Amino acid sequence: MNTTKELSVKESKIAYLLRLADDRLILGQRMSEWCGHGPVLEEDLALANMALDLIGHASSLYAYAAEIEDEGRDEDHFAYFRDDYEFTNLQLCELPKGDFAFTIARQFLFSSFSYYQYQQLKEAKDEQFAGMIDKHFKEVKYHLRHSRDWVLKLGDGTEESNKRMQDAFDELWMYTGELFYIDGVDEMMLAEGNGADLLSFKDEWKKLVEDTLTEATLSVPDWDQFMMTGSRTGMHTEHLGHMLAQMQFLRRSHPDADWK
Amino acid sequence: MPNTQTLHTEEQIWDYIREVTDPEIPVLNIIEMGVARSVDIDHSGKVTVKITPTYSGCPAMNAIEKMVKEKLEEKDIEDFEVKLDFSEAWTTDWMTDEAKVKLKDYGIAPPEKSVNDDDFLKSLSGTKIVPCPFCDSFETELQSQFGSTACKSQYFCNSCHQPFEHFKCI
């Protein structure tokens, strides 16, 4: 997709914040689908807690984007009143939750990527942004520890759990290419001292993933296989629209409703 | 126009918000928790209280904000603002020692000092030992990293056979 339109610093910053926020809202919404359906009580709580963390991260990032935008909109606008092509989350985040192995594999890929991304973003020049990220970062560490533990347990578990874990990574692999998609928005933010240099940690991230899979007696799929593209410019799988329909329905039906 | 609000000093405001306790851990007030960050009174008498969330998705935050507002209203302060401050990330290191003792007495294992990032990836395989808040035994095991609230994890004590919660250190 061609994004030749030159964005101003302000527009880039809003776009950047929305990408970060969309990833977290959409993944958080997917994880919340486990609430009441977890394999054991502890995991039900864990998944719901992480969903809450992610939605919390999204909320603060959306609120900040709205503040910069300064057009009188708030975080609810971004969450509830945009259509699928306006969302710029990774396709990885919008895929249906699948079985527990699939949810865990996705969570591990996303949390480990976020770990490196946030490690850089928390040093951003913009203090308000950096403070926000620093807080999220602490929680991401728990998410990474949790998902990594499960990859090891299930991968190096029974024949059935190993197969499910392997299937999950095999299916998710073609969605990992987009993690390192870079365009003018990233470059602008990096130049402003408020972005993460994705390529600088790509090898380190791959090594963490490879080491974990190997320790879990799983085979590492081919990094050079076909990779999906387009999500950062609004191209999505068919799953996002269905999810938004469910997530946004109530708010759109009662746009002026207020908590009393 | 002169304002009666100048009658309140910053110290008094601190005393008022000391009466606001964490809705999920009622033995601690929001100063001991490190949630109340600053109190300012400007020349016109307007009071600004800054609070910071513990965990991003913590539902107690809205409740705390509301409780602080109600407390200030109850003390007849009219011109005030309660601001959410994100500039510094909350850490369990801000909890006072007194608060940690209270937590333990309440049956929640308090957080220890937070570790820096360099150690994190290396420490992924290791598990730390959290002493039981009831019998002080080190024979405990982690049941889940996530508990009844975002800030707590679940442990089991193999000495006194009690489940207990640990306030995660962040």
Residue reference for tokens 């008498």: B45
Q: Taking a C-beta distance cutoff of 8 angstroms, is the pair B152, B139 a contact?
A: no
Put simply, whether A146 touches B (Cβ < 8 Å) is: yes
How does the average pLDDT of chain B come out, rounded? 86
Strand B140-144 relative to strand B152-157, pairing: antiparallel
Other beta carbons within 10 angstroms of residue A136's beta carbon come to 26
* Residue B127, both tokens: 């598990």
For position A5, what pLDDT does the model report? 66
* Residue A216, both tokens: 């879990």
Q: What is the pLDDT of residues A102-133, one digit of tens each?
A: 999 999 999 999 999 999 999 999 999 998 99
* Residue A210, both tokens: 């490879």
Highest mean pLDDT out of B13-22, B84-93, B148-157: B13-22
Q: Does A134 sit within 8 Å of B89, measured CB to CB?
A: yes
Q: Taking a C-beta distance cutoff of 8 angstroms, is the pair A42, B146 a contact?
A: yes
Burial of A65 (0-12, 13-18, 19+ CB in 10 A): buried
- Report the Cα B120 to chain-centroid distance in Å: 23
Put simply, whether A144 touches B (Cβ < 8 Å) is: yes
For position A1, what pLDDT does the model report? 47
Put simply, whether A43 touches B (Cβ < 8 Å) is: yes
Q: What is the pLDDT of residues B126-163, one digit of tens each?
A: 767 889 999 999 999 988 888 877 788 889 999 999 99
Q: Which of the residues B85, B86, B94, B120 would you substitute to probe the A interface, choosing the one with the greatest number of A C-beta atoms within 10 Å? A: B86
Please give the full DSSP string across B65-101, using - where no structure is assigned. Answer: HHHHHHHHHHTT--SEEEEE--SS---GGGS-HHHHH
Q: What is the pLDDT of residues B28-47, one digit of tens each?
A: 999 998 899 999 999 888 99
Task: Quote the ipTM score.
Answer: 0.70
Residue reference for tokens 């002493």: B131
Q: Does A60 sit within 8 Å of B56, measured CB to CB?
A: yes
Of A56, A57, A131, Cβ closest to residue B88: A131
B87 contact residues in A (CB cutoff 8 A): 127-128, 131
Residue B24 has pLDDT above 60, yes or no: yes
For position A244, what pLDDT does the model report? 97
| Residue type at B116 in one-letter notation | N
Measure B90 CA to nearest chain A CA, in Å.
7
Q: Does A135 sit within 8 Å of B56, measured CB to CB?
A: yes
Burial of B128 (0-12, 13-18, 19+ CB in 10 A): exposed
Other beta carbons within 10 angstroms of residue B139's beta carbon come to 13
For position B60, what pLDDT does the model report? 82
Measure B135 CA to nearest chain A CA, in Å.
24
Q: In b/e form, how buried is each residue of A212-230, taking b as 16+ CB within 10 angstroms?
A: bbeebebeebeeeeeebee
Q: Taking a C-beta distance cutoff of 8 angstroms, is the pair A232, A183 a contact?
A: yes
Closest residue on chain A to B169 (Cα): A138
Closest residue on chain A to B150 (Cα): A49
Tens of each residue's pLDDT in chain A, 260 residues: 445 567 899 999 999 999 999 999 999 999 999 999 999 888 999 999 999 999 999 999 999 999 999 999 999 999 999 999 999 999 999 999 999 999 999 999 999 999 999 999 999 999 999 989 998 998 999 999 999 999 999 999 999 999 999 999 999 999 999 999 999 999 999 999 999 999 999 999 999 999 999 999 999 999 999 999 999 999 999 999 999 999 999 999 998 887 76
Strand B108-109 relative to strand B140-144, pairing: unpaired
**A117 Cβ neighbours under 8 A, 6+ residues apart:** A196, A198, A201
Closest residue on chain A to B155 (Cα): A42
- Give domain limits for chain B: 4-90, 107-167
Going by pLDDT thresholds of 50, 70 and 90, the confidence category of residue B5 is: very low
For position B118, what pLDDT does the model report? 64
Q: Which of the residues A41, A60, A111, A135 would you substitute to probe the B interface, choosing the one with the greatest number of B C-beta atoms within 10 Å? A: A135
For position B86, what pLDDT does the model report? 78
For position B170, what pLDDT does the model report? 78
Which domains, ranges and CATH numbers included, belong to chain A? 9-253 (1.20.1260.10)
Q: Does A49 sit within 8 Å of B146, measured CB to CB?
A: yes
Q: Taking a C-beta distance cutoff of 8 angstroms, is the pair B81, B47 a contact?
A: yes
Put simply, whether A139 touches B (Cβ < 8 Å) is: yes
For position A4, what pLDDT does the model report? 52
- Report the Cα B61 to chain-centroid distance in Å: 10
Give, rounded to a whole angstrom, the gap between the first and last alpha carbons of chain A.
45
Distance CA(B100)–CA(B108), nearest Å, equals 9
Of A53, A132, A148, Cβ closest to residue B150: A53
* Residue A116, both tokens: 């490196």
Q: What is the pLDDT of residues B44-88, one digit of tens each?
A: 889 999 998 888 777 788 889 999 999 999 998 889 999 888 777
Distance CA(B82)–CA(B47), nearest Å, equals 8
For position A61, what pLDDT does the model report? 96
Q: Does A45 sit within 8 Å of B144, measured CB to CB?
A: yes
Give the domain B4-90 fold.
GMP Synthetase; Chain A, domain 3 (3.30.300)
